Amino acid sequence: MGVPTVIVALLIALVFAVMVIGSIIITRKEKAKKTQLAQALGMTPVAQPDAALAEQIFALHRPTWGTATYKLRNVSRRPLADGELFLFDLVDTSGDGDSTTAHQAVAIRSATLRLPPFAFYPKVDTQQYALGGLANKIVEWAVARAGKPVSLPEYPAFAARYTVTSDDPPAARRFFNERMANYFATTQFYTLHAAGDLFVFADIEPGFKTSDQSRMARRIDRALAMYQLFRQAAPAYSA
């Protein structure tokens, strides 16, 4: 190998090393910022979340096809009177490179919750966007691959806002009574995954930044409001 070739190889190795170091520095800075924000929100950083929690969250997001694998990162916790609230990043590690599925989503776990398996995703406002109808058909097609569609025509205001799927559609339909449907019909841009004693929530409104403390505080408040709603629904749903 000639001298020029060696120099080129060394330069490539140097560039690669700089990129790796730069990525590590950025990751550490991001982690430090999220830790600081979590503490400002009254959360306590969790170095290693328990395996049961992690698997519950993974199961809620794992598609019915493929072999997606996940990790939880930047996890923080706040105790509740009868449960726990978490903030976390959900990272898909099954591809060539890691991709973040959820940024600082809220999970609430409590023995007072008895939720059917379901997920719902926001629809596009067809009055505001010309191609909203087409976009909603694409959303419905995509999320149908993650579960069976749940039709709720008796609640048109809610059905106009969200697409619902479930592994147990009859149970999901019993759960989404008039009170539940009316509550969520007044919301926008919510994503929700739930089953048993756990639900995961994130609002994905345009311009949302997880570095914005006021918006993250509002995200937590919205999750806590849903928590109260779900707790009140548990006795009726279980009857």
Q: Predicted confidence band at 23 (pLDDT cuts at 50, 70, 90)?
A: very low
Rounded average pLDDT over 216-226: 97
Q: What's the pLDDT band for 73 if we cut at 50, 70, 90?
A: very high
Q: 3-class secondary structure for the chain?
A: CCHHHHHHHHHHHHHHHHHHHHHHHHHHHHHHHHHHHHHHCCCEECCCCCHHHHHHHHHHHCCCCCCCCEEEEEEEEEEECCEEEEEEEEEECCCCCCEEEEEEEEEEECCCCCEEEEEEEECCCCCCCCCHHHHHHHHHHHHHCCCEECCCCCCHHHHHHEEEEECCHHHHHHHCCHHHHHHHHCCCCEEEEEEECEEEEEECCCCCCCCCHHHHHHHHHHHHHHHHHHHHHHHHHHC
The 10s digit of each residue's pLDDT in 91-132 is 998 877 788 889 999 999 999 999 999 999 998 765 554 444
For the entire predicted model, the pTM comes to 0.79
pLDDT at 154: 96
Average pLDDT, the chain: 82
Please determine, for residue 27, whether its predicted confidence score (pLDDT) is greater than 60.
no
